[in-house]
């Protein structure tokens, strides 16, 4: 009898344990579903700006306008620098219609490829479009062009009132800075044979050429606006495989070059301002393997920069970073080692020391698609807006737009 009672008690306890485990599994499943739902709900909009098509569309930029519209730009044609039909196209997301307009032309230099558009508003809310016209179909010969508009709130393309080139003339201190900063880089031997010069020596020699350091600077990322009418427009050179900043202290009327951002392949800088006044450049790695986001710091409002060094963040293409209105940093890029099939948004609460929230914007499990060259901005209402190249394959391409409420990212 006692044995049967104990057996009955054991059976009851085992059944109770099964019920408890089952309840925990249900709770765990609901918790996961809730987390997935929260992650999904941060996306307020996910749009293809225009239908998928086979033309090459790439290098997008967006700007938030005072009336609530979003203006987007990208380059489009049968190729990139080798295709003379490449032009700058645009579209407008209208607050009144809650939709994207049919694409329209923003810039088209006759018989030259136009690439890498950047849109921004200066301190007076004048609209700027900067881009490159590629001379002789070589990135190294690119010239920076820009347009200005104050009539841009109506439907369709802006009415441009001014067009000019941004021509920079770095002097001999440019090569002196390259020599100095190359010495500050970690020891490294890059060459192809015993008779081939080391990479560092070739870059130093190229920096002494006044033509090489004056032409071929290219746009990619929107500028950082500081106080007192100062604009920092980040630029890079494929010929010199480094970066610099075009600095305007009169709100975009004229431009001067900073000292170069020197390293082994730091290109396409995205600038973010720290609370202490320092500026950090996050850059694509176009140097030796492994490819990692490169970082450089300026302590003097963007004029001089530390030698660019690799971080521990994997990188396969262009990146973008901004400071949010609440002080957090938002960072977008391909933080992987083997392609552009995954695009992520990272959030930092400690100015980039750590990235505690990581969200997939795109993630092709088959690793066939390409999502790259992001642009990220924050509008005055606190919402995040992003655009990027959306290439499912060689015949299906578009520019994708996302709108996110960062307050939902906990």
Q: How many residues does the chain have?
A: 410
Cα(361)–Cα(343) distance, rounded to whole angstroms? 5
Bridge partner list, 397: 53, 391
Overall average pLDDT of the 96-106 stretch: 97
The total of other beta-carbon atoms located within 10 Å of residue 320's CB is 23
Task: Grade residue 3 by pLDDT with cuts at 50, 70 and 90.
Answer: very low
Q: Decide if pLDDT at 153 tops 60.
A: yes
Spatial CA neighbour of 399 closest among 162, 103, 177: 103
Phi-psi region of 171 (alpha: psi -120 to 50; beta: other; left: phi over 0): beta
Q: Decide if pLDDT at 236 tops 60.
A: yes
**Residue 187 and residue 199 in contact, taking contact as beta carbons nearer than 8 Å:** no
Q: Determine the 3-state secondary structure of 168 from DSSP.
A: coil
Q: Which residue's entry shows tokens 């990188």?
A: 315
Q: What is the pLDDT of residues 248-278, one digit of tens each?
A: 999 999 999 999 999 999 999 999 999 999 9
Question: Which residues are CB-contacts of 58 (< 8 A; sequence separation ≥ 6)?
Answer: 74, 75, 80, 115, 373, 389
Return d(Cα 236, Cα 219) in angstroms, integer. 7
Q: Which among 225, 254, 87 has a CA at the least distance from the CA of 166?
A: 254
| SS3 assignment, position 153 | coil
In this prediction, residue 35 carries a pLDDT of: 32
- Can you give the residue ranges of every domain in the chain? 1-41, 45-408
Q: Which pLDDT value is given to residue 409?
A: 93
CATH 2.102.10.10 fits 45-408, yes or no: no
Provide the 3-class DSSP secondary structure of residue 314. Answer: strand
According to DSSP, the residues that pair with 12 across neighbouring strands are none
Nearest CA to 167 among 250, 246, 75? 246
Residue 116 has pLDDT above 50, yes or no: yes
The pLDDT tens digits of the residues spanning 43-87 come to: 999 999 999 999 999 999 999 999 999 999 999 999 999 999 999
Write b or e for each residue in 220-231: b if 16 or more Cβ atoms lie within 10 A of its Cβ, otherwise e: bbbbbbbeeebb
Contact between 122 and 109 under an 8 Å Cβ cutoff? The reply is no
Contact 283, 293 (CB under 8 A): yes
Contact status, residue 368 vs residue 353, Cβ threshold 8 Å: no
CA distance 146 to 164: 6
Confidence (pLDDT) at 410: 83
Tokens 């500028």 belong to: 223
Distance CA 334, CA 106 (A): 28
Q: Is the CA virtual torsion 393, 104, 124, 45 positive or negative? A: negative
Instruction: Please give the pLDDT value at position 42.
Output: 86
pTM, whole model, 2 decimals? 0.90
Q: Which of 121-135, 175-189, 271-285, 333-347 is least confident?
A: 175-189
Of 16-20, 37-41, 136-140, 192-196, the range with the lowest mean pLDDT is: 16-20
Sign of CA dihedral 358, 74, 294, 230: negative
How far from 151 is each of 95, 144, 148, 368, 406, CA to CA, in Å?
17, 22, 9, 42, 31
What pLDDT, on the 0 to 100 scale, is given for residue 193? 65
Cα–Cα distance, 380 to 77 (Å, whole number): 33
| pLDDT tier for residue 217 given thresholds of 50, 70 and 90 | very high
From residue 169, give the alpha-carbon distance in Å to each of 233, 234, 267.
15, 16, 19
pLDDT of 34: 34
Q: Quote the CA–CA distance of 229 and 253 in Å, as a whole number.
A: 10
Q: How far apart are the first and last CA of the chain?
A: 58
- For the chain, what is the mean pLDDT? 90
**Strands across the sheet with 162-166, in order?**
114-121, 127-134, 142-149, 162-166
| For the chain, percent of residues with pLDDT exceeding 70 | 89
> Which of 103, 93, 75 lies closest to 219 in space, CA to CA?
75
Residue 228's pLDDT band, with cuts at 50, 70 and 90, is confident
pLDDT of res. 132: 98
Query: For the residues 11-19, what does the mean pLDDT come to?
Result: 38
């Amino acid at each position: 009898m006692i044995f049967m009672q104990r057996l009955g008690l054991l059976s009851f306890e085992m059944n109770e344990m099964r019920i408890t485990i089952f309840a925990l599994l249900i709770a765990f499943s609901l918790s996961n579903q809730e987390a997935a739902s929260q992650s999904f709900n941060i996306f307020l909009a996910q749009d293809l700006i225009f239908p998928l098509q086979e033309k090459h569309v790439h290098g997008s930029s967006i700007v938030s306008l005072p009336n609530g519209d979003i203006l987007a730009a990208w380059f489009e044609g049968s190729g990139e620098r080798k295709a003379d039909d490449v032009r700058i196209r645009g579209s407008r997301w209208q607050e009144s219609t809650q939709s994207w307009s049919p694409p329209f032309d923003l810039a088209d230099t006759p018989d030259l490829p136009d690439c890498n558009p950047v849109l921004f508003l200066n301190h007076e809310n004048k609209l700027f479009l900067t881009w490159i016209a590629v001379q002789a179909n070589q990135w190294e010969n690119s010239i920076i062009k820009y347009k200005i508009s104050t009539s841009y709130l109506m439907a369709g393309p802006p009415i441009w009132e001014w067009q000019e080139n941004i021509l920079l003339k770095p002097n001999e201190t440019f090569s002196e800075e390259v020599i100095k900063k190359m010495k500050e880089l970690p020891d490294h031997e890059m060459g192809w044979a015993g008779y081939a010069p080391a990479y560092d020596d070739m870059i130093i020699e190229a920096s002494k050429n006044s033509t090489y350091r004056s032409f071929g600077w290219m746009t990619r990322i929107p500028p950082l606006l500081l106080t007192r009418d100062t604009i920092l427009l980040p630029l890079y050179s494929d010929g010199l495989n480094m970066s610099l900043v075009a600095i305007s202290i009169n709100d975009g009327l004229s431009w001067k070059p900073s000292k170069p951002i020197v390293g082994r392949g730091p290109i396409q800088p995205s600038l973010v301002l720290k609370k202490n006044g320092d500026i950090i450049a996050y850059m694509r790695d176009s140097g030796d393997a492994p490819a990692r986001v490169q970082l450089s710091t300026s302590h003097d409002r963007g004029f001089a920069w530390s030698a660019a060094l690799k971080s521990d963040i994997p990188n396969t293409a262009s990146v973008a970073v901004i400071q949010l209105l609440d002080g957090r940093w938002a960072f977008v890029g391909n933080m992987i080692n083997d392609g552009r099939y995954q695009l992520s948004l990272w959030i930092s609460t400690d100015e980039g020391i750590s990235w505690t929230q990581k969200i997939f914007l795109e993630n092709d499990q088959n690793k066939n698609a390409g999502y790259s060259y992001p642009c990220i901005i924050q509008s005055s209402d606190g919402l995040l807006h992003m655009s990027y190249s959306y290439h499912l394959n060689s015949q299906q391409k578009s520019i994708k737009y996302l709108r996110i409420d960062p307050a939902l990212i906990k």
